[in-house]
Amino acid sequence: MTRRVVVTGIGAVTPIGNSAVEFWNGLREGRNGIAEITLFDATDYRARIAGEVKDFTTEGVMEARDARRVDRYSQFAMVAAAEAIEDSGLDLEKLDMFRAGVVVGSGIGGINSFEEQHGRLLKGGPKRVSPFFIPQMIADIAAGHISIKYGFKGPNYATVSACATATHALGDAARLVKYGDADVMISGGAEATISPMAMAGFCSLQAVSTRNDDPTHASRPFDKERDGFVMGEGAGIVVLEELEHAKKRGATIYAEIGGIGFTADAHHITAPAPGGEGAVRAMKRCLEDGGFNPEDVQYINAHGTSTPFNDKSETAAIKTVFGDHAYNLNVSSTKSMTGHLLGAAGGIELLAGILAIKEGVVPPTINYEVPDPECDLNYTPNEAQEREVKVVVSNTFGFGGHNACMSFSKFE
């Protein structure tokens, strides 16, 4: 017998706000978080713009000494998790810690720590490398830190699947609750890749926008003049809980997790399969797993990276799955405001869908100015739209052909 899984707490660190409330207000307002890079000197880079987290602090969550020994991506995860746990109202003294766990992923992990310590190695030799280097760098350590801080002793691990990472983490965590391995799971994704090496790699790949003279209009999903994605950073974390466990303690329920669809393109290391074939199967599976018909869905939070091939193939995939109903949907890419958070994208985008359900508002795709004949759906252009939202699909697709989609709904 399977169990129902609900969301009872949310937390976010993003380029448009360092809490779930600030993030949502930014989405509703169509706030743009893209600007020139300040975290390092990007003068010689093809792309010199990104969605940086601003005014970030770990105060109240980590001691300054401890924070210095933790990579930036793990700091984001810790702060977002702290917000989600507080928001959930969980009484940790009464919680069965053996039935509570953490699945938080990162697509790249502690690349800032890797670059810093590699510099020390080249300059001063191996003895200059910090003993904290390995635990700072590894992609599972954010989940480990959250578990250690709060004492969660249930399932604890990370997922790594590029831009699908957070959705894989959330899907796994939901299933752990659904099938009885845990009653409470802290889950999502975190990423901090606005670094010299990461940006150089994406620039060489020619995957990022080079609209350096106009950063606020650089991320423009589904627009005909899109020229690549814009890097973002941050974290999105939620508390997933078994329904009766949540009801028993009188928790506020944001939404109910419906279904999960995980597939592979088995096609190319970076390009999507023709017609979005892998995305089609993932969306169909997440609807079937959740017990939804295509006509039940009102909103799709699209992967919508602002790259030429992704947006075209995702549009084709949506039309294949939803048929004529595709034109009744609201679709939007919140990456137009935050940039692409890579392994954290699915975390903050789940939040966007949850809050769309709660508030009855669909966040916009900003910078949508020049229609593309191959992208002809309602992308919620430039302004949020009020609409009753009962069922949402969130899409994330990663390099390597990884596809992860989730469906979730208003709690009834």
Residue identified by tokens 């949508």 is: 368
**Residue from 168, 340, 375, 405 carrying the catalytic annotation:** 340
Distances in Å between the Cα of 254 and the Cα atoms of 224, 227, 236, 270 are 35, 36, 15, 35
268 carries an active-site annotation: no
What is the rounded distance in angstroms from the CA atom of residue 27 to the CA atom of residue 9?
19
> Which residues is 392 bridged to in the sheet?
299, 408
Place of tokens 């990370």: 158
Side chain identity, residue 340: H
Active site residue 163: yes
Could you tell me the CA-to-CA distances from 62 to 33, 52, 138, 290 in Å, in that order? 26, 21, 19, 38
- 332, 321, 324: which is closest to 299 by C-alpha? 332
231 by Cβ neighbours in 10 Å (0-12 / 13-18 / 19+) ranks as: buried
How far apart, in whole angstroms, are the C-alpha atoms of residue 343 and residue 160?
8
Instruction: For residue 167, give the nearest of 329, 353, 316 by alpha carbon.
Output: 353
CB 56 within 8 A of CB 13: yes
Nearest CA to 145 out of 235, 77, 91 is that of: 77
**Residue of 177, 187, 207 whose CA lies nearest to 343:** 187
| Per-residue tokens: 261 | 């669809």
Single out the catalytic residue among 145, 163, 168, 245. 163
- Distance CA(355)–CA(351), nearest Å, equals 6
Is 286 noted as a catalytic residue in this protein?
no
- Nearest 5°: CA angle at 228, between 276 and 275? 10
Name the CA radius of gyration of the chain, rounded.
20
Which of 245, 303, 375, 402 is catalytic? The answer is 303
Instruction: Quote the CA–CA distance of 293 and 404 in Å, as a whole number.
Output: 18
Q: Coil, strand, or helix at residue 173?
A: helix
Catalytic positions, written as ranges: 163, 303, 340
